[in-house]
Amino acid sequence: MDGAQESFAGLSLAEFAERLASAEPVPGGGSASAIAAGLAASLLAMVCRLSLDRPKYEAYQKLNTHTLEWADAARHRLFDLADADARAYAGFIAARRLPKDTSDEQAERDARIRAAARQAAEAPLAAIRECAALIDRVGSVAGRSNLNASSDLEVAARLCAAAARGAAANVRINLPSVGDARYTGAVTAEVEGLLHGIEREVLQVSQRVARGVLRGPTDG
């Protein structure tokens, strides 16, 4: 995706899917993962909207209002990350295509590849961090929002987990080209920790949805 191309957020779902299905390397799995997480944030926003101004959920109005504002902003951040992932990977491809006929060219190419690979890892890493924050928000309103839409919260949670796993795959595949063992170790540890926390929260959301009852504003 070059600088002149429109944001993926400006495309219809069919248009984005058509580009994803093409032989072009971007958009790819990283962008698809960010979009999936954006859809999870959209579902969270929907559930919050369905919970506002309803007497049954009056005790949770402040929580749902704040969560709605956060989810709407997160959706836009995640769609921006879909664009960032495509730009970063396009940069990596461009670096790999640099000439390498002389030692100077080879050195320049290697340096550009390392820098581009780091950028290509940072975009999906940012998406995983967003997913970790998103699943916490989903968990906070599970059992404190419209019970008729509780299954939508579980879908949001599971989309979030799938998005995080997909983004993690894109982080990992770029790390060997970064050429920095300390960076690779730190990022790998962070990713594994975030994924573990996300999976744990998905299970809790699923259990709360299955109960089908409201919990107190301060209950665990």
Sign of CA dihedral 153, 159, 160, 161: positive
Nearest alpha-carbon partner for 66 in 133, 137, 15: 137
Q: Is residue 16 part of a domain?
A: no
CATH of the domain at 150: 1.20.120.680
Q: Give the integer Cα–Cα distance in Å for 36 and 42.
A: 10
Q: Each residue of 69-127: pLDDT tens digit? A: 999 999 999 999 999 999 999 999 999 999 999 999 999 999 999 999 999 999 999 99
Tokens for 16, please give them. Answer: 């984005």
pLDDT over 50 (residue 4) = no
The predicted pLDDT at position 217 comes to 79
Q: Is residue 186 part of a domain?
A: yes
Nearest alpha-carbon partner for 34 in 179, 204, 169, 214: 169
Domain around 60: 25-211
What is the count of structural domains for the chain? 1
Q: Is residue 72 part of a domain?
A: yes
Q: Is residue 4 part of a domain?
A: no
The predicted pLDDT at position 33 comes to 97
Q: Is residue 14 part of a domain?
A: no
Instruction: Look at residue 215 and give its three-state secondary structure.
Output: coil
Q: Each residue of 126-179: pLDDT tens digit? A: 999 999 999 999 999 999 999 999 999 999 999 999 999 999 999 999 999 999
Q: Is residue 5 part of a domain?
A: no
pTM of the model: 0.93
Q: Is residue 12 part of a domain?
A: no
What is the number of helices (H) and of strands (E) in the chain? 6, 0
Q: Is residue 219 part of a domain?
A: no
pLDDT over 60 (residue 14) = yes
Q: Give the integer Cα–Cα distance in Å for 178 and 97.
A: 16
- Please classify residue 62 by burial: count the beta carbons closer than 10 Å to its beta carbon, then call 0-12 exposed, 13-18 middle and 19+ buried: exposed
Give 192's Cβ-side CA count (13 Å radius). 6
